[in-house]
Amino acid sequence: MINLKNKIITFIEEHRVLDLIWSMILFIFKTIKYLLYKLCYYWKIVILTLVIGVIYIFNQHKGILFNILNNDYVKDITFNWLYKDIYIPLYFIEIVVIVLLIIWLCKNNRLKDYKHNKIEKVNNLTNRLKEAPYIVKIKKPFSNLKITTYIFNKNSIGISTWLDPKIREDLETALNRVIINIEDIEGRKDRVKIDTISPKYKLPNNIYFEDKHISDNNFELVLGENIYEKIKVNIDKTPHLLVGGTTGSGKSILINCLAYQCAKKGAILCFADLKGLDYNSWNNITLSNYDYMGDNKETLFPNQCKVSTNLEDIYKDLSNISFEYGERQRLFENLNCKNINEYNKQNPDKPLSRIIYIFDEFEVLQDENNNKDLVKKITNDISVFATRGRAFGIHLILGAQRPDADTIKGQIRSNLDIRVCGRASDKYMSEIVLGKGNYDASTLIHEGDIGVFVTNNNKRFKGYYIDTENLLKQYEKKDKNNLGENNNVEQ
């Protein structure tokens, strides 16, 4: 018997019988699945007729259904004790079954139409075998029913192809929807998710900023809104921003909005404005309580906000920030604090303020040919803050109207992780601001779109409108000592 058993085991192993059986099971399963798939697409009327026929038979012979529903096993698996005292007419169950069946069949038919009649017509959206992707699911998130989400099987087509502006435009035409987001599905390399809205929904003309829009989260800043969400950035996690856009795009208004939120959260603001046009109302005002390390506080940061319009004053501001940077570095080392958050938790009665350095029209700095040495020093200081400033609460917001490859160099560029661009003059400018191969600012924002921006992760939104000149008048005569006890630093 033992020899016979060994021979059987050897035969199974040599001839891979188990693999053969498993292959047959998979073949049968796929065959059934394929037949059901074809039935759903091509024989839906037959299926619907069969279901109605079965329901009719149950109506004529109610004893059959009654016996099924009153079976003890059926009662157990359907949790009969939950609804045993509730009377549900039989015809109600029939109606629900028919409605669900019709919805299911219509949905399958809709998927078929998209697959065969539309998606295959999108030019260049194919893999190496010239196979098009196909939709596997259409759904509406409960969080916002204006959105329709399409789940595609990518069919080995890379995400970069899906993000191509021409492909995106053709997809919008095929689906008759406006695409607001395209991204891979986490954990599914073969799936891509496309969020869309109806063309009838549009961004509002103006969204006026109010204090209620300020986020309660630690240095989370709100940029604006689109149809289905607020666009937020957290400079505690991604510390530096680049904001680009041509003249009239609303870039300066967006920077003013970010600056106001930072000031209300207790940050120290230093503006560099070589044109001296857009930020004069910020000079020498204080909106909230603030604190820092410097010994001579009357000369280092006498007010919460300061605006500099020439290279000498800009370099002086950067020197003051560099001094504060060194003081914080030594303090954190002595207290074994990794960053400003840890320090402020240990010292809740006297937290350190974050420092926001804002340099608009950054490309103008490169035009200062008569002060190349000073420009180099300024650039070096900004580079240090870009690479090491985060832990010590020092952040950059750089604005650029006509950037080129030489405007923002090296370490500064690589550390500007949050990038936002308004209307761009061409694809080249969009790529400079948003990153290589990203042309969204030139394709998604059209002539006349004022205050409309896109981020480097492909989110289009309307920026808040804020009138800082009138808003800041109430703070002009206030200084640090008469702000009131309730205006605390938020860290």
Q: Over the stretch 125-184, which tens digit does the pLDDT of each residue have?
A: 888 888 888 888 888 776 666 788 888 888 888 888 888 878 888 888 888 888 878 888
Q: Are residues 186 and 305 in the same domain?
A: no
pLDDT the model gives residue 412: 85
Q: Are residues 322 and 443 in the same domain?
A: yes
Residues whose CB falls within 8 Å of the CB of residue 243, separated by 6 or more in sequence, listed in order: 251, 254, 255, 397, 398, 399, 400, 420, 421, 422
Of 145, 169, 201, which residue constitutes the final position of a domain? 201
* Domain membership flag for residue 47: no
pLDDT the model gives residue 354: 93
* Domain membership flag for residue 365: yes
Q: Are residues 219 and 193 in the same domain?
A: no
Angle among Cα 63, 65, 71 to the nearest 5 degrees reads 100
Q: Are residues 165 and 260 in the same domain?
A: no
Residue 465 DSSP class: B
* Domain membership flag for residue 126: no
Q: Are residues 227 and 173 in the same domain?
A: no
Within the chain, how many helices (H) and strands (E) appear?
Answer: 18, 14
Q: Are residues 376 and 435 in the same domain?
A: yes
Strand bridging mode 188-197 / 220-225: unpaired
DSSP character string of 283-297: TT---S------S-H
Is pLDDT above 50 for 224? yes
pLDDT digits (tens, 9 = 90+) for 399-455: 988 776 677 777 788 889 899 999 888 888 888 888 877 887 887 787 777 899 999
Domain of 465, in residue numbers: 211-482
Q: Are residues 194 and 216 in the same domain?
A: no
Q: Indicate the helix (H) or strand (E) that contains 327.
A: helix 311-335
Report the number of distinct structural domains present in the chain: 3
Q: Are residues 380 and 438 in the same domain?
A: yes
Dihedral pair phi/psi, residue 420, rounded to 5°: -130, 135
Residues whose CB falls within 8 Å of the CB of residue 373, separated by 6 or more in sequence, listed in order: none
- Percentage of the residues of the chain whose pLDDT score is greater than 90: 25
Q: What is the CA radius of gyration of the chain?
A: 32
> Mean of the per-residue pLDDT values for the chain?
79
* Domain membership flag for residue 142: yes
Residue with tokens 């959206």: 125
Is pLDDT above 70 for 219? yes
Q: Are residues 257 and 216 in the same domain?
A: yes
What is the token pair recorded at 253? 């208004």
pLDDT the model gives residue 165: 78
For residues 43-70, give the mean pLDDT: 65
Q: Are residues 306 and 387 in the same domain?
A: yes
For residues 67-92, give the mean pLDDT: 60
What is the token pair recorded at 431? 């790529």
CATH (domain of 398)? 3.40.50.300
Which one of 25-34, 76-85, 357-366 scores highest in mean pLDDT?
Answer: 357-366
